[in-house]
Amino acid sequence: MLTVRQIEENQHAVIQLLAKKQFRAESLVNEIIETDRKRKKLQNQLDNNLAEINRISKDIGQLFQQGKTQEANQAKEKTTSLKEDIKLYTRQLEESVQLLHELLVQLPNLPHESVPEGRAAEDNKEVRAGGKMPELPVDALPHWDLAKKYDIIDFEMGNKITGSGFPLYRNAGAKLQRALINFFLDEAANAGYTEMMPPILVNEDSGFGTGQLPDKEGQMYHVTGDNLYLIPTAEVPLTNIFRDVILSSFDFPVKIAAYTPCFRREAGSYGKDVRGLNRLHQFDKVEIVQIQHPDKSYEALEEMASYVETLLKKLDLPYRIMLLCGGDMSFTSAKTYDFEVLAAGQKKWLEVSSVSNFASFQANRLKLRFREEGDKRTQLAHTLNGSALALPRIVAALLENNQTQMGIKIPEALVKYTGFNMIE
RNA sequence: GGAGAGGUGGCCGAGUGGUCGAAGGCGCACGCCUGGAAAGCGUGUAUACUCCAAAAGGGUAUCGCGGGUUCGAAUCCCGCCUUCUCCGCCA
């Protein structure tokens, strides 16, 4: 959520920047500024009335103490019309505030100036690529066939237990999951991230804080009995640690990481692209989060991107890093790098990580502020996050790219975690 | 899930209808004192919105959260959240 001040002070820049995101902001921006003016006016009227009634109340108190009951009762009568006004203004102010809020949440985050122009995925810019393309025989299998062949992932059993999109990992498949989680967590710790293990159900406030609510309500599993939501990503509990928090500039950078299962309803996405591990309702992921000083957040974004890149290198996966164009970016992001790995068995690039700087957009919702040393005023911090990494598509690529006559080869860096170097 | 007791500022803690945004203490910051420090003394010490070109200075709200009663609520009433103790259940 942008702040009204941000919008008002840079009205034209906001409209221009949002055009890059293929968003026509002009009328919304005007409506926001107009509503805020109205809000201020109402606030003033209400405050003046409240000040007046406070004054009278104090007088009444004194009159009663002095035993001047009659004068006190006379003063009481004066408050009747004031109270009616107060009721009216309060209601109008609430309406204004709510409308302003509804308008503000419709406005996407501003893209950073370095974000390329473009409408859709084809316009994304490849910034780096690496890893060796595997040379597979013509009869190479996609991972869902390999999973069956080696009895490591049982999709049908998942269907029986829960439903589609909830696979059962077994044997080496289960061990591989555990190995990857530990590998990612250890790497994150080495890179300076503090490990957390957060709750995987969150309340409404947290859902709102990171922007899943109200816009993506249908994407989360909702536990209606207790009004809790299953997290779609660890970003939600991790970032909400900092809801309503005022940091000092000495606290930067905050670097935290967590493994959690993630739950996504993926309502409406069916078909070929969702086969096997490509798209699941439950999956495992290690997430990294940074809270940064506004002057440092784009540096931090690069740092996070290179960190994710080292993971893919260590896993010997062929990858490419895409800088998303304005039209392909998420609502909340100011700048995003997507990481894709090649799954050679299905000859497809799979997105395995998305690393974003949200600038102050999330911080404004969260009320995550900081104070510069010696400064009285608070300002919004910058938040960033990225997957490091999401497991299923990594597993898909590992299985497909490393298939041999003998079995599936485990990358060197993972062997000490799996305890085996081949799935046979 | 049942019964009872709590939730006050960075922390401790007073306050049960009237100049209470809140005593007192601790902590912290600044100043004085000192050769330097400690102690001592003095001053200051929340957040948000808003008025003002800005500063200074005002106004409003906030005592777990949300409603209500009242001229006036930290204080009374209702609902919710949460902590502690006991019982029940339980990995």
Provide block-wise average pLDDT over 10 residues at a time, chain A (424 residues): 91 94 94 93 91 90 83 85 88 90 91 94 94 88 94 94 93 96 97 94 87 81 86 93 86 93 80 80 96 94 97 96 95 95 93 95 90 81 94 96 94 96 94
A203 touches strand B (CB under 7 A): no
A50 touches strand B (CB under 7 A): yes
Supply the pLDDT for residue A61: 86
Measured CA to C1', what is the nucleotide nearest A97? B49
Q: In what order do the strands lie in the sheet with A378-380?
A: A245-248, A368-371, A378-380
Q: Which of residues 10-39 of A touch strand B (CB under 7 A)?
A: 36
Instruction: Please tell me what DSSP assigns to residue A192.
Output: T
Question: Which nucleotides of chain B are near protein (any atom < 7 Å from a CB)?
Answer: 18-19, 47-51, 59-61, 71-72
Residues 6 or more apart from A301 whose CB is under 8 A from it? Answer: A335, A337, A355, A356, A357, A384
Task: From the CA of A72 to the C1' of B17: give the distance in Å.
Answer: 16
A248 touches strand B (CB under 7 A): no
A66 touches strand B (CB under 7 A): no
A44 touches strand B (CB under 7 A): yes
Task: From the CA of A158 to the C1' of B88: give the distance in Å.
Answer: 36
- This model of the complex carries an ipTM of 0.86
Instruction: Please tell me what DSSP assigns to residue A223.
Output: E
A9 touches strand B (CB under 7 A): no
Say which amino acid occupies A213.
L
Tokens 């660890």 found at: A234
Using the CB atoms, write b or e for A64-102: b if 16+ within 10 Å: eeeeeeeebeebeeeeeeeeebbeebeebbeebeebbee
A156 within 8 A of A218, measured Cβ to Cβ = no
Q: How far apart are CA A340 and CA A349, in angstroms?
A: 6
Measured CA to C1', what is the nucleotide nearest A78? B71
A40 touches strand B (CB under 7 A): yes
Q: In what order do the strands lie in the sheet with A319-323?
A: A125-130, A319-323, A335-343, A348-357, A382-390, A282-292, A254-263, A194-196
> Which region holds residue A76: left if phi is over 0, alpha if psi is between -120 and 50, else beta?
alpha
Q: How far apart are CA A157 and CA A71, in angstroms?
A: 82
A53 touches strand B (CB under 7 A): yes
Task: From the CA of A18 to the C1' of B58: give the distance in Å.
Answer: 39
Retrieve residue A352's tokens.
């395995």
Supply the pLDDT for residue A273: 67
Task: From the CA of A250 to the C1' of B36: give the distance in Å.
Answer: 29
Task: From the CA of A365 to the C1' of B45: give the distance in Å.
Answer: 28
A84 touches strand B (CB under 7 A): no
Q: In what order do the strands lie in the sheet with A222-223?
A: A201-202, A228-230, A222-223
A58 touches strand B (CB under 7 A): yes
Of A217, A213, A204, A205, the closest CA to residue A242 belongs to A205
Retrieve residue A338's tokens.
């997507």
Of A376, A394, A254, A232, the closest CA to residue A317 belongs to A394
Supply the pLDDT for residue A65: 79
pTM score: 0.91
